[in-house]
Amino acid sequence: MLRSPSTPAQPEWKASWNALQPALQKVRRSMATARTSPIKVMRVSQLDSDILDSELFQILKDQLWSALSLFKPTIKERFEPELLAVLNLCLFKLSVYDSSATYGSQLQNLKYRNEWKHGGALESIAKDAPLSQTQKILYGVFTVGGQYAWTRANRYITSQGWGELDEDDIRNKVYRVLQSGEKYWKAFSLLNFLIFLWNGKYRTLIDRILAMRLVYGKKSLNRQVSFEFLNRQMVWHAFTVSFHHNNDKKEKGIG
């Protein structure tokens, strides 16, 4: 009868490793629930990115109106909401949808991340969760589609004079509902902005609804502001003031 070979003895380090497993599991669980330091993004950078986006949109809009000036002026007046919606849609597709950041945000080293994936202890982890497809689509629906629908509806209601109809008329009720909705939206937007100034999260109400938070695209890149132009301007201003002052003294002395 053949005997099975004897089982080799386990090394000492493996026995110690197995004995440490319960303690390691406990440490892992405590690290998963531990709260890390909150990530801080400069509020001025987030606000500057919004200003840059507005300036870019204004430049493109001026170019569009300049091109349409070669055609009948009624085209711009009649289809202005649709033209602006197409322009907004192009900017959305080439920025937020493709790279999860607007052009102004990219200039400020910012990008959107999916804050739903960074709750609790995961807020300050090194890797940022990308935006989901649903978040991107809903962002486009709210910013592009919502703005177009609101502008077109306001134009139609104003042209038809719904606000001047009898209060029992259904169209007047729709008008008042829309006006109340606009007031509530502005009030909630103001409240969201005050919260943003307090904790630096969610610059707009849409960002908060969709949990799209602006964070640094490259965490190792510092925000550097060049004061070279300002220094030159101050030196030139001091030089011109001194020059005019000396001329005034000479003129008074001659007189």
Provide the mean pLDDT of the chain.
83
CB atoms within 10 A of CB 23: 9
pLDDT-derived band at 35 (thresholds 50, 70, 90) equals low
Q: Which amino acid is at 184?
A: Y
User: What pLDDT does residue 80 have?
Assistant: 92
- Kindly tell me if the per-residue pLDDT of 208 is higher than 80: yes
User: What pLDDT does residue 185 have?
Assistant: 95
- Kindly tell me if the per-residue pLDDT of 169 is higher than 70: yes
- When mean pLDDT is compared across 11-15, 30-34, 171-175, 198-202, the lowest value belongs to 30-34
Quick one: what percent of the chain has pLDDT higher than 90?
A: 51
CB atoms within 10 A of CB 47: 16
CA distances from 238 to 126, 233, 242, 245, 246 (A): 48, 9, 6, 10, 12
User: What pLDDT does residue 168 have?
Assistant: 86
Query: pLDDT digit string (tens) for 84-142?
Result: 999 999 999 999 999 999 999 999 999 999 988 876 655 666 578 899 999 999 999 99
Concatenated DSSP letters for 102-146? -HHHHHTTEEEEEGGGS-GGGTT-SSPPPPPHHHHHHHHIIIIIH
Q: Residue 163, CB half-sphere, CA atoms under 13 Å: how many?
A: 12
- Average pLDDT (157-164) is 88
- Kindly tell me if the per-residue pLDDT of 3 is higher than 90: no
Which structure tokens are listed for 138? 């809903």
Q: Which residue has the higher pLDDT, 253 or 135?
A: 135
CB 43 within 8 A of CB 196: yes
User: What pLDDT does residue 13 have?
Assistant: 74
**How far, in Å, CA of 111 to CA of 49, rounded?**
10
- When mean pLDDT is compared across 9-18, 202-211, 216-225, the lowest value belongs to 216-225
Instruction: State the first-to-last Cα distance of the chain, in angstroms, to the nearest integer.
Output: 134
Which structure tokens are listed for 228? 């070279």
User: What pLDDT does residue 1 have?
Assistant: 46
CB 36 within 8 A of CB 124: yes
* Domain range list for the chain: 43-216
Concatenated DSSP letters for 69-102? TTS-HHHHHHHHHHHHHHHHHHHHIIIIIHHSS-
Burial grade of 48 (CB within 10 A; 0-12, 13-18, 19 or more): middle
User: What pLDDT does residue 255 have?
Assistant: 46
Q: Which of 9-18, 21-30, 199-208 has the highest mean predicted lDDT (pLDDT)? A: 199-208
Q: Which residue has the higher pLDDT, 217 or 19?
A: 217
Nearest to 85 by CA among 158, 146, 153: 146
**How far, in Å, CA of 44 to CA of 91, rounded?**
23
Which residue's structure tokens are 């950041």? Answer: 101
> 201-220 burial by CB neighbour count: b if 16+ within 10 A, else e?
bbbbbbbbebbbbbbbbeee
